Amino acid sequence: MNLKPGIILAFILSFFIISPVSARVSHVDIFSHSDVLSGRSFGDAGAYEHISGRIYFSLPIANPHNQGIVDLHNAINLRDGEVEFSSDFVAIRPKDPARGNGSMILELPNRSKRIVLSFIDGGDADVAEDAGDAWLLRNGYTIVTLGWQWDVTGPGALHFYAPIAKENGKTIFGLLRGDIMLSKWMPEIPLGHVILGKIGGTEYPVSAPDDPRNSLTVRNSPDANRTLIPRSQWKFAHIVDSKLVPSDQFIHLNGGFQPGKIYEYVYVAADPVVAGGAFAAVRDFASYAKHSPNTIVPVQRVFGQGISQTGRFLRDFLYQGFNADEDGKMALDGVLAHVAGAGRGSFNYRFAQPSRDAQPTSSVFFPTDIFPFTDLPERDPVTKEVGGLLDRATAENVVPRIFFTNTSFEYWGRAAALIHVSADGKHDAPIANSVRIYHFTGLQHFPAPFPPVRGKDDLLGQEPQSPLSHRYLMRAMIANMDAWVRNSKPPPVSSYPLIADENLVPLQKYAFPAIRGLNRPHDANEVWRLDFGPNWRNGILSVQPPSVGKVYPVLVPQVDIDGNERDGVHLPEITVPLATYTGWNLRDPSIGASDQRVAFEASYIPFAKTAAEREKTGDRRKSIAERYANHEDYTVRYQRAVDELIKENWILPEDRAALLLRGEQEWSEAVN
């Protein structure tokens, strides 16, 4: 019997849709299936295909690996002892899996943004028109993006679909909290989390607008006293066609919300989503990919990849014991948690708010940076708690290979030092053999344009952003992880500032050089011992805002005479500098609170061109002319720095030309 290709494809898709796939994944719906870039071949991996769909998980509540999911037993769709969840996904895989390298990058999208392909390869996030240099595809990786956040919004968002919970059939109510610092005047604010001017998560509408527990306060900084705004001055309302109408998702303030102030609101919400099922979805997708005979993405290894919010998700995933699947097998073989700092997050709570993070002037006092911070067990000298991030994984013998990579910003804005120091801040902490910690000096939280420019809107800082690239370091990280898991080839040893070397210091010992006209920060993000009520460790937050206890010590990387950090992984721009790259940037006065740091940003502060220019401005840092005899001298030193990074496996040999070109561009920018 001869079948046309279209009929064969329809038969295959119907098989995926109606057939049970495994004990963990009940079934898969395929929405689209197409060739990537019209069947273009990528290296030895050949042609790739793009598959999008929805995958369904059924979780038995009696399985001990599911019992940590908050409110799972209260899910309204509990049937025969199991609860169903589902996730949107997009897979980009070799058409012939045998030609791939057997490794999957399982991307957990940051607030549903698919970025791993554009971040690493430089093309489209969807490879719809541009594959960039196709490094991931040429090397045979399967890339899957899996929806995990229940309240994402926007076009193309990949959702995690979870049931709501009811207690004995009755509606569950609770207190929810949000905060915001604006960069411009606004008449109203949404209840959902605003991040970089967009809604990172819709969260919950207000369920009882007239409840006396609803409140709105204002203060000038995270540690300032709150001022209660009288209830007569604000309401749950929204302007529609120039008219103010009631709304369950907005707060309207008489006179409007002013820039540069922290507004915090508390309100009553109802019907919590069983958001913690997302941990099981990631776990079970990884096991499905590796073990199911019917998987649409057959691989031997799965590396969980998360950036910022989803790096914190992966840290919490490990801490809460989800790297063992329902059969006790290892789910993720490797974890690449980038720019997560010391954080975890509001992922597995009743009324979870997964978009909330911990910025210098917003998302303050959320369950983001909470003990324990280190991978091996540590002791809190105040609470006497003992624990480590990998305790559960160690007990179940499912510890993956792990890279914790952070930039300079995370030491100032995400308390990154806590992942490798004792809880009292006095000693360097040991780290597990399965863990590498890397500090990428001079980089900021996310890539910024070159030539350097100042941020815009909420990101408008006093200085240009650090333009140092993440891409080539991260490509080497993926290659190193693959070699470590596949062949047990050890990656570079950990590289981060140590207390013992006096390269990690309290803020009062931070020796940044005096530069005329440059304002320095007066603080770094602090991490506090929080208490959200008697049952909050079990996922129920009943006190909002929380009680705030003693602060953990804040330590930042020490700098050299130029203001560049002394220890960590140095790109050539730090080894052979033309500028200072800080871990901080202060808010521009035009957006208010000019003594506060901008979220996510570092600063680029160029050297003077000549000694005369330096002396005129009172800059004590040597000028470019005093550092380098000429362009050739700079180029030779820069090339030597690149070659040393390649030798030590921080940079791939094939990326040498790109880094050398960037060095030439930076010289031209600095001297012209």
Residue 296: count other Cβ atoms within 10 Å of its Cβ: 23
| pLDDT tens column, 58-95 | 999 999 999 999 999 999 999 999 999 999 999 999 99
| pLDDT tens column, 309-332 | 999 999 999 999 999 999 999 999
Mean of the pLDDT values across residues 238-253? 96
Question: Residue 597 has what DSSP assignment?
Answer: B
pLDDT at 480: 98
Cα–Cα distance for residue pair 153/160, rounded to 1 Å:
11
- Does residue 451 have a cis peptide bond before it, meaning omega lies within 30 degrees of 0? yes
Cα–Cα distance for residue pair 123/107, rounded to 1 Å:
16
SS3 call for 123: coil
- More confident position, 14 or 370: 370
Mean of the pLDDT values across residues 138-166? 97
For residue 582, give the nearest of 607, 554, 601 by alpha carbon. 601
pLDDT-derived band at 1 (thresholds 50, 70, 90) equals very low
Q: Is the Cβ–Cβ distance between 346 and 366 less than 8 Å?
A: yes
pLDDT at 595: 96
pLDDT-derived band at 16 (thresholds 50, 70, 90) equals very low
| pLDDT tens column, 277-315 | 999 999 999 999 999 999 999 999 999 999 999 999 999
pLDDT-derived band at 7 (thresholds 50, 70, 90) equals very low
- More confident position, 191 or 4: 191
Q: Is the Cβ–Cβ distance between 551 and 530 less than 8 Å?
A: no
Q: Is the Cβ–Cβ distance between 400 and 528 less than 8 Å?
A: no
- More confident position, 364 or 23: 364
Q: What is the mean pLDDT of the chain?
A: 95
Q: Is the Cβ–Cβ distance between 203 and 174 less than 8 Å?
A: no
For the cut 70, the answer to whether the pLDDT of residue 18 exceeds it is: no
Mean of the pLDDT values across residues 443-467? 97
CA 562 to chain CA centroid, Å, is 30
| pLDDT tens column, 340-363 | 999 999 999 999 999 999 999 999
What pTM was computed for the model? 0.96
CA 354 to chain CA centroid, Å, is 11
Question: Residue 159 has what DSSP assignment?
Answer: -
Q: Is the Cβ–Cβ distance between 284 and 106 less than 8 Å?
A: no
pLDDT-derived band at 2 (thresholds 50, 70, 90) equals very low
| pLDDT tens column, 521-565 | 999 999 999 999 999 999 999 999 999 999 999 999 999 999 999
For the chain, give the percent of residues with pLDDT over 90. Answer: 95
For the cut 60, the answer to whether the pLDDT of residue 4 exceeds it is: no
pLDDT-derived band at 3 (thresholds 50, 70, 90) equals very low
Query: Looking at this protein, which amino acid is placed at residue 663?
Result: G
Q: Residues with Cβ < 8 Å from 351, sequence gap 6 or more?
A: 174, 176, 204, 269, 272, 541
Tokens of 353: 């708010």
For residue 155, give the nearest of 189, 183, 126, 175 by alpha carbon. 126
Query: Looking at this protein, which amino acid is placed at residue 541?
Result: L
CA 282 to chain CA centroid, Å, is 16
Radius of gyration of the chain (CA): 25
For the cut 80, the answer to whether the pLDDT of residue 20 exceeds it is: no
Question: Residue 327 has what DSSP assignment?
Answer: T
Cα–Cα distance for residue pair 220/86, rounded to 1 Å:
42
Exposed (0-12), middle (13-18) or buried (19+): which is 6, by Cβ within 10 Å? exposed
| pLDDT tens column, 384-436 | 999 999 999 999 999 999 999 999 999 999 999 999 999 999 999 999 999 99
SS3 call for 137: helix
Identify the structural domains of the chain with CATH numbers, from first to last.
22-163+274-299 (no CATH), 166-270 (2.60.40)
Place of tokens 């273009």: 40
Dmax over CA atoms of the chain, in Å, equals: 86
3-state helix, strand, coil split of the chain in percent (to 5) is: 25, 25, 50
pLDDT at 24: 81
Question: Which residues, in sequence order, are bridge partners of residue 170?
Answer: 167
